Structure 1
Amino acid sequence: MSTPIPTLTDGAVSVRPIRLRDARLLERELLDNRGWLRKWEATNPHGAMSFDVRASIRSLQANARAGFGLPFAIDYDGEFAGQLNVSSISYGSLSSATIGYWVSERFAGHGITPTAVALATDYSFFQVGLHRMEICIRPENAPSLRVVEKLGFRYEGLRRRYIHINGDWRDHFCFALVAEEVPAGVLRRWKEGRVPVGAGTVPQAERDAALLPGTHLP
């Protein structure tokens, strides 16, 4: 079932439906940020992926019409800053989804990403009716790890060689929240300073395990 994609705003940060007319802005940001983004980008283990931005947007929109995703653009103070996708949406007894995101390097450090993730998660919980939201992050991705720490996503474990990123299969740390954990919302809990101490922290033993020779590829 298709789910409406709204515009959600908190202060200068907005997440809104991505549009075909964003293609030029999106392509420019992706090209300008190749060094910043390349090491975190999903790749195809069976060959090169095309760099057709309009086709990518159309694919995201088709996936949304089928009810499997919520593709957002992230704006900061009215300027295109990145993307956020709620993907792999399942309904019924599972009622879950995953979130992936990126912002341009020039917007880093402004609290944009945690705000966008909180807005999208709250909408998914309280409007779409999902029960669980998951975020999977490479162990080396310190900025993304700070996002889940700020918002209090629970650490759930290390997934070995989980997603093909930047040319190879990479380990990922998995984090999640369920709706019952945030009855007043992710954004409100964070803004009010009520995130449980230690939430989102990866145990040192798991950090060490992610770096064991032969199990993790740099």
Structure 2
Amino acid sequence: MLRPPRLRDARSWSEIRLRNEQWLKPWEPTAGDSWAERNSVSAWASLNSALRTSGRRGTMLPFMVLYGGRLVGQLNVSNVVHGALRSCTVGYWIDDAVAGRGITPTALAVAIDHCFGVVGLHRVEVDIRPENTPSLRVVQKLGLRREGFYQRFLDIDGEWRDHVAFAVTVEELGGRSMVSRLANLPPQPTWRTRT
């Protein structure tokens, strides 16, 4: 299940983030403060406020990922642009304790359906570091199209990192939902991630 973030998510969010430092830190944006500081219970209030403000402005759709009724991750639809482009970028993370259960592909499929339906977007992009095998499997399971390769694209974990761009447009779903497509996709080929 996806739902908006809440102020009372602080303790659960912090516990998951702190416990998953080794799992998550290599894929996170470079920051000046320590992992413990930026993922503390007290850090959540300002992050939650920023997420909700961006949500109200319509530039972002922040979601918490729940599984079995408990918080297990986060998915953010960001860089939401309307007008002629009608596009967005999606980023996500999941608790290592539940990784590999199909939660992230399902959450991404639900978010894509929401973006194409309720929000009225035309294109969704997911940018992944070439060495992030778990995230590559997520877009592979959904059948997203490899679209490009960005050299030194984002400042991640202390260095400018390359990213592979994957995308899907509403026409590619042929009137079906991404959730139903996920349920009916045959095994997908593995992509070559280097140019």
What TM-score results when the alignment is normalised by the length of structure 1? 0.82
* Match among 115, 126, 132 for residue 135 of structure 1: 126
> Which stretch has the larger CA shift, 47-56 or 20-29?
47-56
- Identify unmatched segments of 5+ residues in structure 2: none
* Match among 25, 38, 49 for residue 38 of structure 1: 25
The offset of 1:67, in angstroms, is 0.6
Q: Which residue pairs with 1:9 in the alignment?
A: none
The 1-side partners of 2:126 and 2:30 are apart by: 18
> Is the 8 Å Cα contact of residues 61 and 76 (structure 2) preserved in structure 1?
yes
Residues 98-122 of structure 1, C-alpha deviations (whole Å, 9 max, x = no match): 1000001101111000000000000
- Alignment of 1:96 with 2:96, yes or no, is no
Identity across aligned pairs (percent)? 46
> Is the 8 Å Cα contact of residues 109 and 142 (structure 2) preserved in structure 1?
yes
2:105 alignment partner AA: P
Q: Which residue pairs with 1:170 in the alignment?
A: 161
* Match among 74, 78, 90 for residue 69 of structure 2: 78
The 2-side partners of 1:109 and 1:37 are apart by: 15
Residues 4-30 of structure 1, C-alpha deviations (whole Å, 9 max, x = no match): xxxxxxxxxx01111111011111111
**Equivalences for residues 7-18 of structure 1 within 5 A:** 14-18=1-5
The offset of 1:126, in angstroms, is 1.1
Residues 42-97 of structure 1, C-alpha deviations (whole Å, 9 max, x = no match): 124xx448612221111000000111011000000101100000001000100000
The offset of 1:186, in angstroms, is 1.0
- Alignment of 1:192 with 2:181, yes or no, is no
- What CA RMSD, in Å, does the superposition of the two structures yield over aligned residues? 1.5
| Secondary structure at the counterpart of residue 149 of structure 1 | helix
| Secondary structure at the counterpart of residue 150 of structure 2 | strand
Q: Which residue pairs with 1:202 in the alignment?
A: 191
Residues 134-185 of structure 1, C-alpha deviations (whole Å, 9 max, x = no match): 0000011000000010001100111001011111110000000000101201
- Identify unmatched segments of 5+ residues in structure 1: 1-13, 210-218
1:84 alignment partner AA: L
What TM-score results when the alignment is normalised by the length of structure 2? 0.92
**Equivalences for residues 104-143 of structure 1 within 5 A:** 104-143=95-134
* Match among 60, 65, 72 for residue 69 of structure 1: 60
Count the aligned residue pairs: 188
The offset of 1:193, in angstroms, is 2.5
The 1-side partners of 2:55 and 2:160 are apart by: 27
| Secondary structure at the counterpart of residue 160 of structure 1 | strand
1:188 alignment partner AA: S
